[in-house]
Structure 1
């Protein structure tokens, strides 16, 4: 009997999406060149991950359930071992932490705990984009996860170019008008206002206010990704979009992967918008609506993983800011070291080589005079033992073909210096070829 062979053309087109293929290629390159210095993964530093005492975190959270939530010892232990509610079991801690640290009040009923921020993106796009006439706008370049979520769901995506202030509001306004004229609508905009992945861009205060005003006028929902906000200089960033929001336009997407433990795969959504069922008259929160969708995706987020995150929050006084404070100092140090190393080793790189100078986040964005594709990455890894991430998959168009992304969060200072030296040698070789 001949085994079944499926034609890729007959499967969902997201399977062969360039963004998906690029992630697979990078993973393969890491495996083939284990001695390479990798500027590819936007991962927390291993020392922070290694320092987490998983058992102690779970015990601390179980004790909290008994002491502060009124559960007896048996029910508290079972809470972290059994299936849990789709909304999650640490929503109260997340709500308290955000209220304390981020300048906007959060009720537990508005919080949904997700299997990583990626699931939050998927659920938010699915809930908001109801039909073929709904479009998702994204700041271009944008995190590949939101692009992938939209493609999996078949939601058309339109790009809003970046500007010095963060994004082109005139273009967003034009996109909304063009969509209306065609009988469609831009339903939501995905934006990371603070040290965005991959660009490192920060939206200035005036742009945030103007964006909120435009969202109210055009009936947009703003999906605010706050993953990298903790890495900035304390007090330097403007208030979050959610803190400035007066019209209920902002849904917050967050993750514990960057601030503490990526292996837990725990994220969260804050969606306090009201949803009314016209048939029953029942009113719930958007978070509750998304929780209903979640039951058909992952059912619930791992209770053990949530207990670990809950224990870490409790260990740091229930504060996200305190949980991320020392880590942010290391990431800002690494970013400064990378920028300094690039200045030293690429001072004679010649025309066509440039890079931005972010003040936070995990990444530096570099432009080079040749196409930064998978073939060039393979050659760089093979001949110079240094890895990076092509920027093209982060764009909807072809404008990122000559750009690459350098991540510095995972590396130690000597690796950053040596990696910059190797990269400089490679770029000089490419330039003179």
Structure 2
């Protein structure tokens, strides 16, 4: 029998300081609220729709992959068995299929050896940050507001981040330029820029073609690397797809972070990073950055699940490594959902009404998210009241600002809802917003 009286207790202040950072609480809090209010309609999670998921697909994808190994590559059944059941290549076993898919879908032409297949895109962020940031003066510039996954990962690794406010077109190259130069004057080393060029989480903004070209110029001028995160690029509602930064990259300044969570199967937890930069070591030894990331991965996850990779690999084989075409139905679904969400906001808050209330929102041209500005503090307390009294959930935007901000903004995600749920959810949200008394702004 355990003597609980003799069991040691751990002081929180003796643990890593990141454990008291609100950024690390944000995701857990949302999951907890969703669990406590299961009947509430939720605009909170940025997860894909489950409308086309079928459990039988998993077995089919796995069979497609093993058939590919036996028929296209001439492997024996013993080779396939070892490939799936044993520890595999640290940098992944479907890197060739991923390379073909990137070439077909994004016109990103890189050798398969430059791709590290990771346990979700979150691991790709961790590996990349750990490799690139060597000293306390190294600083990551992030667009603000910013996805908490990258700022949280930086916090875990004790990497300094510097928020750079975005404009209505998303990340602002001139603001990054000014920030990089300011950091250097302060004795810091701006090492890299993190951006989501298309339909960013949380703001839904996208970079123009001119901004993409200018950001690459700024990176060259200031000797910066660019961490391009691209989970939503397929999901255009209006206009056409713009090229990824990596497809425009002529100097190998862009590390392209990707995931199959939104375009294939989130439960597989398969992501990747394209790291084709050359690394020069002692004595002139040369390698790819992907090879250096492999050393870190071997000490963390060892390798990404071969079974998960095989399922995703089979899906890629089935669509002839043309994932954009395979996602045509999902693209149409998310576009319709976002159009419905925008239409319902307009219906409940016509121009005169929203002006009187002090409510506004942006109109993204794709993706899963948009942001609503409100005349009250949209914090966790307001969220609990919204869930309990009105049956609707959303995400406080303040979670996405590392140095304060966004207190009167909330994020809506429409990806996991049906059109009918969006209609009902906006009706509930409108009642909640109209019930909140406006609060005077704080500060000077």
Give the TM-score range, shorter chain: over 0.9
Kindly provide the CA deviation profile for residues 353-391 of structure 1, in whole angstroms up to 9, marking residues without a partner as x. 111111111111111111111000000000001100111
**Aligned twin of 2:273:** 269
* 1:317 corresponding residue in structure 2: 320
Q: Deviations over 1:91-116 (max 9, x none)?
A: 00000010111122121011100000
Partner of 1:217: 221
1:245-324 alignment runs, 5 A limit: 245-278=249-282, 280-324=283-327
Which residue of 1 is the match for residue 387 of structure 2? 381
Measure, in 2, the Cα distance between the counterparts of 1:65 and 1:182: 54
- What's the TM-score once normalised by structure 2's chain length? 0.94
Structure 1 residues 70, 281: CA separation in 2 closer, same or farther (over 3 Å shift)?
farther
Residue from 405, 412, 432 that aligns with 1:426: 432
Identify which of 349, 360, 366 aligns with 1:354. 360
TM alignment of 1:45-194, pairs within 5 A: 45-50=49-54, 53-194=57-198
Q: Deviation of residue 288 (structure 1)? A: 1.2
DSSP 3-state at the match of 1:179: helix
Supply the distance in 1 between the matched residues of 2:331 and 2:96 (Cα, whole angstroms). Answer: 24
Contact 1:313 / 1:323 at 8 angstroms: preserved in 2?
no
In structure 2, what is the Cα distance between the partners aligned to 1:322 and 1:66? 26
Q: Superposition RMSD on alpha carbons, in Å?
A: 1.5
TM-score normalized with structure 1 length:
0.97
8 Å Cα contact 2:239/2:365 also seen in 1 = no
Which one of 324, 327, 331 corresponds to residue 330 of structure 2?
A: 327
Runs (5+) with no aligned partner, structure 1: none
Task: Please give the secondary structure, in 2, of the residue aligned with 1:229.
Answer: coil
Post-superposition shift, 1:325?
Answer: 1.8
Instruction: Give 1:432 shift.
Output: 6.8
The answer to whether the 8 Å contact 2:376/2:438 transfers is no
Q: Between Structure 1 and Structure 2, how many residues are aligned?
A: 432
> Could you tell me how far apart the structure 1 residues matched to 2:397 and 2:429 are?
16
Structure 1 residue 391 corresponds to structure 2 residue 397:
yes
- Larger mean Cα displacement after TM superposition, 254-263 or 318-327: 318-327
